[in-house]
Chains A and B, each alone.
Chain A
Amino acid sequence: MPLILPLLLAVVLFCIGVYGVLARRNLITLLMSFELMLNAVNLNLVAFDAWHADGLATGQTLAVFVITLAAAEIGLGLAIVLLLFRGHGHVDADAARDLVES
């Protein structure tokens, strides 16, 4: 399989992620978009590993690291979202402006 196909897929995934992070208001969607971006990176890593074939599988190793990291991150993120919901009764990124400089 040519390298360009997985890379294109990764670009599409990443852009969807960026769009989700910057444009959506629901914080859960925001977290899902983060996951999309991370997985785009994972795809990149695996694709380049297959293409490079150095025998050490460094790209795959790194991908496993990123998956672990993503799991930790989503745990923290969900905790924050949960606290926000408990405190404010919503999960709206636009409305959570407690740190605004007034």
Chain B
Amino acid sequence: MIATAWRVVGVGFSLLVVLAAALLYGVDPQQTSSAGAMIGEDFWFAYEFRTDGLTVLMLAVVGVVSTCVQVYSIGYVRERIASYTAIVTLFTAAMVTVVISDNLFLLLIGWEVMGACSYLLIGHYWERRDARAGAMKAFLMTRLADIPFLFGIFVLGVGYHTFRISDLGSGPMEPHTLTAGTLLLLVGVVGKSAQVPLQTWLPDAMPGPSPVSALIHAATMVAAGVFLIARLYDLFVEAHTTLTVLAVVACVTMLFAASCAMAAVEVKRVLAWSTVSQLAIMFAGLSLGTHDGRHAALFHLMTHAAFKGLLFLCAGVLLHQVGSAAFVVLRRYTRRGALRKRMPVTFVTMTIGLAALAGVPGFAGFFSKDSVVEAAWETARDGSTVGWIVLVSVCVTASMTAFYCVRLWLWIFFRTPALAGAVGAFEDDDPMADLEEPDARKLHEGSWLMLAPMILLTVGAAGLGYTDGVHLNWAIALITTVLAILGALPAYSLWHRGADPRPALLEHEYGVDPAYQRLFVVPVRWLAKLVVGGDRDVIGAYVRAAGRTGVLASAGFRKLQTGNVQTYLTAAVVGVVALAILAGVIGS
């Protein structure tokens, strides 16, 4: 009952967001402010909201994706439904707050609530150790990045004497202060959007329910970082150092994440790394510092929301029906050709999603990625080093993206001729190798509640590319297509031979996690042990000593309690008489 009520609330709220976006579409930018208070002598705090093109775009993305996720969850989530739906709704509401706020602190509130919600949702299956660890990791890493973020807000707000976003950028500002403020904000963005060096939390957030992954990866949380830079773009454009740092971070991240995705052996992990990589492409577009770059980044954000949300929902169907999204488990079905035939809708939608991600001409990802490349080319042509770096990185990443998309698609959906029905390259990590063959006939397509959102998002993944007005630069389109084919061919040839060489370096994701373990986790554990020891042996010792002193002091008085009523009465009478005599002596 309460679960149903929450589901209605969740879907209703998401639809309300879509409705708001539809109503605000085409309306002139507005700023409203209400119920404020003066803090100190300089700063005016209020609930300030703004609606402009960026807001409407984000509201539409958030609304559509969260509607899909909410409907999908009705078919997907089986336990703790009420709390799950409530938190997803809160998550959406927090993202909406971030999107519409015109005040840095209001934005920070939404930003932090999202962090808390992602922690709760990643840990939805809290019986599982990896879910608990992933939730904790996500929370700690984003929190760590949020501290510089808060100080960035202070620096910018105090520098401009206002915390109102639409007023930022007006008035004189020391370039160094601006650089410092935007760099601090950038740290928060890097943490939230899982860029290098704070990237490891996103792949480890995969034990969470798949619809939550779709929500986090497509519309909320990680997209908030991109949104923030787009919102404060005027400031970031002024701060050249910050943009250069952003470009370097984005380029390193996109290559790093794409190469990790090439070696991952679990569908959701591949998708997680690809999210990191695609976000880096958006940041690369933003780091160009041009209007075209910002436009391309937001375009890519929108198409990415559609196809990445779709891919996670597809992965959710696989997880739901097969019980695992690991390549090796899926291969056990695929070698009989069962997966594709039993789940035609999932197969088709996932194919379209992967095509959009890989940048197959005609699909959404192709157009948006091309617009980033085009913006980078425009900048590079003017002799900008950043432009060249971005251009080369995005092109290489496009190739790698095609590789891991084709690899994922072929290995999980198609029988390998060379292997004649064997599991193939993933046999080594098969924990159930000795078990008997899984019964493919039990495999079903997901329920229509799950398929309908997927189909809706498929339409987006296929068609969103045309919404921006097709203005294709044919040379660039040709180059990126060739690059995608260059990436896809090795994947096909490896699959055809039944081989999947995974370099140890990539498989261990460059050893970043063990390094962080040694550098940060172990020292922090030591510190924690030290603190526990200090609490128990130093502070606790004082507390215990105080208690024992009381016990010892009371030992003498305890003897007075004999249990004989008459003794007590005698003492009372003697006391009264003594007091009376005393009163008489004093009184006379």
Contacts and interface: CB of A to CB of B under 8 A. Distances in A.
Contact of B563 (A18, A22, A23, A100): A100
B561 A21 contact: no
A96 B570 contact: no
Contacts of B569: 21-22
A97 B561 CA distance: 10
A101 interface: yes
B549 interface: no
Contacts of B563: 96-101
A95 to B, nearest CB: 9
A96 B563 CA distance: 7
A100 B566 CA distance: 13
B562 A100 contact: yes
B566 A93 contact: yes
A73 to B, nearest CB: 15
A17 to B, nearest CB: 11
A54 interface: no
Contacts of B562: 97, 100-101
B564 A97 contact: yes
Contacts of A98: 563
B558 to A, nearest CB: 5
Nearest to A97: B563
Contacts of A93: 564-566
A97 B563 CA distance: 4
A101 B566 contact: no
B570 A100 contact: no
B561 A101 contact: yes
Contacts of A96: 563, 565
B8 interface: no
A23 B570 CA distance: 9
Interface in B559-582: 559, 561-566, 569-570, 573
Interface in A53-89: none
Contacts of B561: 99-101
Given A22-B569, A22-B573, A101 B564 contact: no
B577 to A, nearest CB: 10
A99 B567 CA distance: 13
Given A22-B566, A93-B564, A101 B558 contact: yes
Nearest to B570: A22
Interface in B510-566: 558-559, 561-566
A96 B570 CA distance: 16
Nearest to B577: A18
A97 B559 CA distance: 13
Contacts of B566: 21-23, 93-94
A18 B562 CA distance: 20
Interface string A11-52: 000000010011100000000000000000000000000000
A38 to B, nearest CB: 15
A5 B186 CA distance: 101
B561 to A, nearest CB: 4
A98 B564 CA distance: 9
Query: For B561, B562, B566, B573, which residue has the most chain A Cβ atoms within 10 angstroms?
Result: B566
B216 to A, nearest CB: 63
Contact of A94 (B564, B570, B573): B564
Contacts of A18: 573
Contacts of A23: 566
Interface of A: 18, 21-23, 93-94, 96-101
Interface of B: 558-559, 561-566, 569-570, 573
30 contacts: A18-B573, A21-B566, A21-B569, A22-B566, A22-B569, A22-B570, A22-B573, A23-B566, A93-B564, A93-B565, A93-B566, A94-B564, A94-B566, A96-B563, A96-B565, A97-B562, A97-B563, A97-B564, A98-B563, A99-B561, A99-B563, A100-B561, A100-B562, A100-B563, A100-B564, A101-B558, A101-B559, A101-B561, A101-B562, A101-B563
5 cross-chain pairs, A with B, having the tightest CB-CB distances, nearest first: A100-B563, A97-B563, A101-B561, A101-B558, A99-B563
Given A22-B570, A97-B562, 18 more contacts: A18-B573, A21-B566, A21-B569, A22-B569, A22-B573, A93-B565, A94-B564, A94-B566, A96-B565, A98-B563, A99-B561, A99-B563, A100-B561, A100-B563, A101-B558, A101-B559, A101-B561, A101-B563
